[in-house]
Structure 1
């Protein structure tokens, strides 16, 4: 279940938006919000290895994506599917960039886009229950993609197997042809020896 969502500018760690009712059902909500703010500060100092990352913290996991110098972060229960968490963040990112994209760099005060909370709350409700038809369909789409990747990988492995069979056949042919060559070379050596012996 999505517990907390925050958006910040990566260049300076400035919080741009936050879910207003996020964290009400979390014990130690302020502690986790402080962790998020510390993470944003680290990201602003260039301490970000990846544009997508999941970080475990107590019974929760922070998932974030960085796109266009903005970090979109959510905190979920550990059991919440990672794929849904990232899809949730992608939906937020798409809408946030569409609505506020031109104003992100010029925002001067924290939570300058607090009105974005309305969209965050609506979207969060869609992702709360992992068993809804919509979320099951998203997970099934992911399974289909994984299946396609696995199918491609199996086909590549089978292709490598066919190539190995061809190499094996070529090796067998070379081996038999080298035996024939050795036999002919022996015959020629005998003929040369006979010819040399008979001419002396």
Structure 2
């Protein structure tokens, strides 16, 4: 089972459109992660990365933005990003098929609460093997997924786009340093080769008596 809690919200105002828990009896332990997820819905904007994974101990919170809708899955820490985002992609496909043209209509939370039935079916079927196979054929674009602590994101007031920019700058700085190091190594190697050639030429051009043969 990919998620212990799934939440669907509207991008722009963070209105919760639908939600589902794996186990209602365990809802108490999910109160804090759910609160964090709702705050995240209000934090995300049109400039935020399309997907990210955030640490929300003891869980991981994964989100996906598609067609002005935010899909959030709260998962156990052992669930891989690939599995979580495959699940979210399936949820996005089902939700878009059922409510895609009505997303802007709701004015109250949980207007599409009946979507919980679909979410339960996806969880019970492991996400639907046929749909998983179909998705595996498509580029999942999960090579680089932002990973940070959700409390840091929410409490610092730093937008996820800022975090992504910082991550990109660090990556570019690292690549720049690596490129400079490579250039220096090549320069030293070329210099050494030139010096060796000069020494060889000097050896053959000097009279024999200037060299000591051991």
Q: Contact 1:96 / 1:116 at 8 angstroms: preserved in 2? A: yes
Q: Contact 1:84 / 1:127 at 8 angstroms: preserved in 2? A: no
* Superposition pairs of residues 100-139 of structure 1, within 5 angstroms: 100-127=99-126, 134=129
Q: By how many angstroms is 1:26 displaced?
A: 5.5
Higher fraction of helix: 1
Question: Match for residue 71 of structure 1?
Answer: 70
Change (3 A) 1:23 1:41: farther
Partners of 1:30 and 1:47 lie apart in 2 by 27
Q: By how many angstroms is 1:106 displaced?
A: 1.1
Question: Match for residue 168 of structure 2?
Answer: none
Q: By how many angstroms is 1:24 displaced?
A: 3.4
TM-score, structure 1 as length reference: 0.60
* Superposition pairs of residues 1-200 of structure 1, within 5 angstroms: 1=1, 2-20=3-21, 22=23, 24-25=25-26, 28-43=29-44, 46=45, 49-127=48-126, 134=129
Q: By how many angstroms is 1:31 displaced?
A: 1.2
Structure 1 unaligned regions, length at least 5: 147-200
4+ residue stretches of structure 1 with deviation over 4 A?
Answer: 20-23
| Rg larger in structure | 1
Change (3 A) 1:27 1:112: closer
Structure 2 unaligned regions, length at least 5: 141-214
Root mean square deviation, CA, Å: 2.8
Q: Contact 2:63 / 2:72 at 8 angstroms: preserved in 1? A: yes
| DSSP-derived class of the 2:126 partner | helix
Q: By how many angstroms is 1:22 displaced?
A: 4.8
Change (3 A) 1:22 1:110: farther
